[in-house]
Amino acid sequence: MMITVVFVSSFVSGSTTTILFIFFRGLKQPDKSSATMKTLLKLQSLKSLWIPKSSCRLFHKQPKLLAPEPFSQNESIRQGEQQVPEYFNFASDVLDKWSQMEKDGKRSSNPAFWWVNGRGNEVRWSFEELGFHSRKVANVLSDICGLQKGDRVMLILPRIPEWWLVNVACMRTGISLILGTSQLTAKDISYRLQACKAKCIITNDMVASAVDAVASDCQFLKTKLIVSEGRRDGWLNFNELYKAQPADHICVKTKIQDPMVIYFTSGTTGSPKMAEHSQGSLGFRPVISERYWLDLTPEDMMWCLSDTGWIIASLGSVLDPWVFGSCVFVHSLPQVESTTILNVRKKVIL
């Protein structure tokens, strides 16, 4: 018999909920005196430590929390009683619905996005403001860069608000997003640009020189956008273009199978592989399932510490909390420091 033990911890409403999952494979009925049974009995006696009663909500006592209000009708899809929709776009079908609920006074004043950098600077956006800013960025991509639905954009940025705006803007335009970490070398960037055939790359001063070193080898790369206060030869300035764009943009209609984001594997045992996720596998997934996992509400706040180049950042800092209308909290956190994390959590009262 194989026993796999997985611990999952999350911050929810000021407390930490730790869930222990135990998966049994090839389970037989062991004798009560066996070492295996003794181990299981010990785990049973410690079950009160797995899910502290004071730090989790009981679904059966609060059934209204089982589904975010705008998406409660999708329960029949989860139950297999109704087919998944043919069309779905996370920006228009999730974010814009929360924006409308704000306008109708049906959502709390909790921000949709809250970013701090530890030096006194902060950004707070409601869902309506998030929509306003992301539409401007969508116009940069489509009108200035000439990108169309189905094109690919590579994004390498640290934890700054522009990373979130580009994520949502790509949803609105139907552009596939390829994410990368700021630790990528020029060789890493070249490999990814050529493999995914990205037509545009968006990054900052820290990575721009590495891109310039390999750009001539990337025949599909047409546009380079830099998020910077200054200018750089051969690059379009993201900040300047953003300011000049109108906030009117019509979200494209995307099918649920249309590509949404591409991630590269870590490449630990070989060349990194591309993993493509669709509007359905990545965007529609939390609409019908995450409410049974995170149990967030519009009054809650979620802080994901993953680097922006990994899929966990998309799940924990974009898709999953925003399905619930919760606030995404972000600290720029140039380096992961436990003291900073604990101090920020104490001040913010996550």
For 90, residues 6+ apart whose C-beta sits below 8 A from its C-beta are 171, 260, 279, 283, 284, 319
262, 239 Cβ separation under 8 angstroms: no
**Residue 52: pLDDT over 70:** no
Say if residues 150 and 176 touch (Cβ distance below 8 Å).
Answer: yes
Q: Report pLDDT for 221.
A: 98
For the stretch 43-76, what's the b/e string if a residue is b when 16 or more beta carbons lie within 10 angstroms of its beta carbon? eeeeeeeeeeeeebeeeeeeeeeebbbbbeebee
Cα dihedral across residues 171, 172, 176, 177: positive or negative: negative
Summarised one tens digit per residue, pLDDT across range 211-243 is: 999 999 999 999 999 999 999 999 999 999 999
Position 111 scores a pLDDT of 97
Using CA atoms, how far apart are residues 198 and 122, in angstroms rounded to an integer?
Answer: 32
- Ranking 98-102, 250-254, 267-271, 306-310 by mean pLDDT, the lowest is 267-271
- Establish how many alpha carbons lie within 13 A of residue 97's alpha carbon, considering only the half-sphere containing its beta carbon: 18
Length of the chain (residues): 350
- pLDDT tens for 67-118 read 455 565 566 666 666 678 899 999 999 999 999 999 999 998 999 999 999 8
Residues of the chain with CATH 3.40.50.12780: 88-348
Per-residue pLDDT at 31 exceeds 90: no
145-188 residue pLDDT tens: 999 999 999 999 999 999 999 999 999 999 999 999 999 999 99
pLDDT at 302: 93
Q: What per-residue confidence (pLDDT) applies to 218?
A: 96
Q: pLDDT digits over 263-273, tens only?
A: 999 888 888 99
Percentage of the residues of the chain whose pLDDT score is greater than 90: 63
Using the predicted structure, report yes or no on whether residue 18 has a pLDDT greater than 80.
no
Q: Does residue 19 have a pLDDT over 60?
A: no
Lowest mean pLDDT among 74-78, 132-136, 260-264, 274-278: 74-78
* CATH fold for the domain made of 88-348: Rossmann fold (3.40.50)
| pLDDT (average), residues 241-250 | 97
